[in-house]
Amino acid sequence: MIEALSKIEETRIVSIIRKIPKDHLLATIDALYKGGIRCIEITMDSPKALEMIALAKEKYADDLLVGAGTVLDEPTARSVILAGAEFVLSPTLSTRVIEVCNRYGKLAVPGVFTPTEALTATQAGAQIVKVFPVSSVGPNYIKDLKGPLTQIKLMPVGGVDEKNAKAYLKSGASAVGVGSCLVNQKDVLNGDFEKITKRAVALVQEVTGQ
């Protein structure tokens, strides 16, 4: 759990992989890795998601932090953990999902939006929370949340891209979750993995300043 959190805070970017075919997964991850991405999330609304989590964990265990996203309930949380997920993200706040993650020693990243939800998640045992959807409020909202809740680690998700990722981090976010800005179905299905790598490079450079 601590290692997963440290990896996310160190790299500051989690790439969200959603609804791509399993047979394109390894090429997609390779493209992300070449671009500097070291943390990925495979969402549970993807076909054969559990198989993809297991495959990613098997092939990239020493190089990438593999997590599961769109986890809504306790049975799903347990399933993704058994498949190999090191961190579990949700779009909503479920204290029971947090409990399952803590029971198995895995990092829970529950979805919150309000200060009350953020504090509730932390009190339930979450060490970092996913602020979602953040596109409608922008980076200043992260700064506003961090004002009274300095102890809570925040990861904004929803509309984060290479143009605003740095602003979110400067506003106090510990990391950002990035979806179609990095991996979109069209590029994957067309085999345009070089585009994914180029976008990853640009995002990593923007975030690290290198």
Domain residues of the chain, as ranges? 2-208
Cα–Cα distance, 137 to 125 (Å, whole number): 26
pTM: 0.96
Neighbours of 45 (CB within 10 A): 10
Which CATH architecture fits 2-208? Alpha-Beta Barrel (3.20)
Cα–Cα distance, 178 to 159 (Å, whole number): 8
pLDDT by residue (tens digit) across 47-92?
Answer: 999 999 999 999 998 889 999 999 999 999 999 999 999 999 999 9
Q: What does the pLDDT profile of the chain (210 residues) look like in tens digits?
A: 889 999 999 999 999 999 999 999 999 999 999 999 999 999 999 999 999 999 999 999 888 999 999 999 999 999 999 999 999 999 999 999 999 999 999 999 999 999 999 999 999 999 999 999 999 999 999 999 999 999 999 999 999 999 999 999 999 999 999 999 999 999 999 999 999 999 999 999 999 875
* Bridge partner residues of 32 (DSSP): none
